[in-house]
Amino acid sequence: MLFVVRVVTVLSLLFCALASARAADKLVADFGGHSGFQSATWVAKDLKIFDKYGLDVDLVMITGGSRSVAALLGGSTQFSTGSATAALLAAARGADVVIVAASYNKFPGAIVAKPEIRSPKELRGKSLGILNFGGSNDLGVQLAFKEWGLKPKEVNVIISGDAPTRLAALLAGRIDATLLSPPHLKLAVNSGYRVLADMGQMHANFSQSTLYVRRGYMAAHRDIAKRFIKAYAEACHVFKTDRERSLKILARRMRVEDPEIVSETYEYFAPRFSFPPYVNMAGIKDTLEFYAEQSPELKIRKPQEFVDHSILEELQKEGFFKTLR
């Protein structure tokens, strides 16, 4: 009889374990490229932090904020990461999207140019490559032009692809300057190209790497959203505090073999990562004000309309962030 009870107990535990494994919620989330500010979802995926919270996440790369938002709205993804720009503009047009967290609340990287271009003023008449129009690259360079006293028409801003493609175009002489962040920034500097300006030192605020979701999805699946944000927040903390594991993830995800470049990338981004990962509302305000110059209807919109911190605030009240420190 005792043997039968033990067998039943073991089988019950095995069944529960299998049921628990099957119960993991399957999701698709995206990231935008191979730069270090993408690290939050990389860490959550590669260190199985998503699994810890009962999430089976397929992580896919979608470059460009407008494509990321389109995939989210079309149902191809449930969670998206990218700059605040595309999500904010889509929401302003009535799209069902809201920003819920941010791992990186600064402009990343720098504007890099051919060595003969010695100052921002010398960009007049030159070509500058960006990822696409309407995204964070575009916003970053336009704000930089404004700060430097350059008129947009004085610089030939062209679409030149993602960071590796822009770096290749710069090295081949097809463009005169571009916006790069580590590790591609370091590769350009090592090749003799000149840093014209550190975007992180600009006066304008910005949220470069945010997490956004459909409002309808979050309302219908709040528990899943909460678990995803818990994993995202924990990944931000791990990236800031666990150098060795983060270096291994960066090397693989960025496809960089040089340990010095990987290390410099980590040292550049880790101290600037946000934890807890609240959105910098000043960055949302500055972004709204910039685009309001082109779309006056945005002047009456408030930053709070585009951000929902309710889950982060719940986690704060529950003491979740303290458990990670």
Tell me the whole-structure pTM to 2 decimals.
0.83
* Rounded-to-integer distance, Cα 143 and Cα 138, Å: 9
List the domains of the chain with CATH numbers. 2-105+206-324 (3.40.190.10), 110-201 (3.40.190.10)
Range 67-76 contact pairs with CB under 8 angstroms and sequence separation of 24 or more: 68/30, 68/32, 69/95, 69/97, 69/212, 71/30, 72/30, 72/97, 72/212, 72/213, 72/214, 73/97, 73/214, 76/28
Residue 130 near residue 179 (C-beta atoms within 8 A): yes
Task: Kindly report the backbone phi and psi dihedral angles of residue 101, in degrees, each rounded to the nearest multiple of 5, phi listed first.
Answer: -165, 170
Q: What is the DSSP letter of 297?
A: G
Q: Which of 22, 27, 20, 23 is nearest to 225 (CA)?
A: 27
- Joined together, the tokens standing for residue 201 give 């030192």
Per-residue confidence (pLDDT) for residue 211, from 0 to 100: 97
**pLDDT tens series, the chain, 325 aa:** 444 434 434 444 444 444 344 578 999 999 998 888 999 999 999 999 999 999 999 999 998 888 999 999 999 999 999 989 889 999 999 999 999 999 999 888 899 999 999 999 999 999 999 988 877 788 888 888 888 899 989 999 999 998 899 999 999 999 999 999 888 998 999 999 999 988 877 777 788 899 999 999 999 999 999 999 999 999 999 999 999 999 999 999 999 889 999 999 999 999 999 999 999 999 899 889 888 888 888 899 999 999 999 999 999 999 999 999 8
Per-residue confidence (pLDDT) for residue 33, from 0 to 100: 86
Number of residues that make up the chain = 325
Task: Kindly report the backbone phi and psi dihedral angles of residue 52, in degrees, each rounded to the nearest multiple of 5, phi listed first.
Answer: -55, -30
Task: Kindly report the backbone phi and psi dihedral angles of residue 241, in degrees, each rounded to the nearest multiple of 5, phi listed first.
Answer: -115, -20
Q: CA triplet 9, 13, 17: central angle to 5 degrees?
A: 170
Per-residue confidence (pLDDT) for residue 156, from 0 to 100: 96
Q: CA triplet 316, 90, 299: central angle to 5 degrees?
A: 85
Per-residue confidence (pLDDT) for residue 18, from 0 to 100: 42
Q: Which residue has the tokens 């979050």?
A: 218
Specify the DSSP element, H or E, that contains 67: helix 65-73
Task: Kindly report the backbone phi and psi dihedral angles of residue 146, in degrees, each rounded to the nearest multiple of 5, phi listed first.
Answer: -60, -40
Q: Indicate the angle between helix axes 259-269 and 243-254, nearest 10 degrees.
A: 110
